[in-house]
Amino acid sequence: MTDLETRATPPGSATLRRAAPALLGYAAVRALGLLALALWSAARDKNAYTLLTARWDALWYTRVAELGYGYEVRLPNGDVHSNLAFFPLLPWLERLLHAATPLPYAGAGLVVSLLASLAAAWGIFAVADHVYGRRAGVCAVLVWAVLPVGIVQSMAYSESLFTALAAWSLYAVLTDRWVIAGTLASLSGLTRPVGLAVVAAVWATGVASFLRDRNASRDPNARRDRNASATVSFARTRSATPEPGAPPCRRALGMLLAPLGAAGYVLWVGHRIGHGPLGYLDVQAGWRNGFDGGYAFARFVAGKFTSFPSALAGLGLIVGVALLLWLYVVCVRQRQPLPLLVYGGVVLALALCASSYFGSKPRLLLPAFPLLLPPALALARLRTSRSALVVGCVAVASAVYGAWWLNGSGPP
């Protein structure tokens, strides 16, 4: 099958069988990471299951599932850590699975996360396959799996669930399934604050589609020219926005549905604490979270250059940020579809420009899978034996790092 034939395949062909190599490869990488974690934890007399389910944010989600909202911790410095900061979809699913099975809340959270990670891998494959072809789709999933903080994908955290909803929402936009896209975007907004990125992608693409349709209706020649160039567009890459097809009413409905989840929860929190519609920002402020355009992060990096050992860490952070920005520029140059560019850009901006705990930024970037498409394409161009060797070596390194990380500072 040629590259053109692969990308021109109808969206419905992204079936489980087509995605099987990607999912099997993903499962193998994650199994390797969990094995490394189990061995490392045993050597340090720690419990790997506890690290995955009952520490850091996982513990907060479990408490929401078991006790509901209203729990908070007051720190000696006056800060208030409220569980209202944690969006409700993951705890809801934990509670549902706990009620339907003998699993404890923590175990239910782990199962939800593991299943969601597979759904996320499948969604990433579907998006990359639709835009660049099946081989690129497999490589995109593997690159996402071997990220240094990939172990978070197997924790009772919300990153995997959010990435699954985001990826499938973007795929629905790319394939003109607007009501599905809006529904999944709304659910992503009930999962993490960064659901704003999915809403922005749906709205930006919807507005662009409406503008394109209006221009086409005013200029019949433009419509004929676009149809005549469709084959050329597929041969190079997908156009910046999906080809029109869904009725405008469905597109509008999808756009209206997209922000309902996040808006509903934020307004509910504001009403509950009596601080007005934006009271959720006060809850986040209690955690020292906010959006300052990257000022706090810049100060944090600058503070690393006070001594020689820490200066190396500061230099590494600068190189890391530069690499992320370069990857986004490459995404733009490769003419990724508009929803992917908007989503990836917003996730990147929110992660880098938030004043939250700086050690959490790699984890916050985990859902930004469009940034991984350039390296996935480079990997796809290699021979299968070489690409397998590269992925294998990186997977081992990622597994070792993940085991060391969770047994040490771990994700905040």
Identify the CA nearest to 168 among candidates 157, 160, 158, 180.
Answer: 180
Rounded CA-CA distance 404/73 in Å is 29
* pLDDT in the model for residue 228: 40
Confidence at residue 221, expressed as pLDDT on a 0 to 100 scale: 60
| Percent of the chain at pLDDT exceeding 70 | 90
Task: Return all residues near 93 (Cβ < 8 A) that are at least 6 apart.
Answer: 108, 112, 161
Structure confidence at residue 259 (pLDDT)? 98
Q: Which domain holds residue 138?
A: 3-291+384-406
Q: What is the pLDDT of residue 1?
A: 37
**Residue-wise pLDDT tens digits, 154-204:** 999 999 999 999 999 999 999 999 999 999 999 999 999 999 999 999 999
Q: What is the distance between the alpha carbons of residues 217 and 31, in angstroms, rounded to a whole number?
A: 53
Give Cα 49 distance to the centre of its chain: 24
Mean pLDDT computed over 23-32: 97
Q: Is position 305 within any domain?
A: no
Question: In terms of DSSP H, where are the helices of 192-307?
Answer: 195-218, 220-228, 230-236, 248-257, 260-273, 279-286, 295-302
Distance CA 11, CA 236 (A): 18
Domain total of the chain = 1
* Inside any domain, residue 334: no
Instruction: Identify the residue with better confidence: 192 or 288.
Output: 192
* Residue 94 belongs to a domain: yes
For 334-344, what is the mean pLDDT? 97
**Whole-number mean pLDDT of the chain?**
89
Domain-embedded: residue 360: no
State the pLDDT confidence band at 356, using cuts at 50, 70 and 90: confident
What would the mean pLDDT of 80-94 be, rounded to a whole number? 96
Q: Is residue 220 classed exposed, middle or buried when 0-12, 13-18 and 19+ CB atoms within 10 A define those classes? A: exposed
**163 found inside a domain:** yes
Q: Is 389 contained in some domain?
A: yes
CB neighbour list of residue 181: distance below 8 Å, 6 or more residues apart: 169, 170, 172, 173, 202, 254, 258
Does a structural domain hold residue 411? no
Residue 234 domain flag: yes
- Dihedral (Cα; 314, 316, 319, 323), 10-degree rounding: -130
* Three-class secondary structure of residue 80 per DSSP: strand
Give the pairing of strands 72-74 and 80-82.
antiparallel
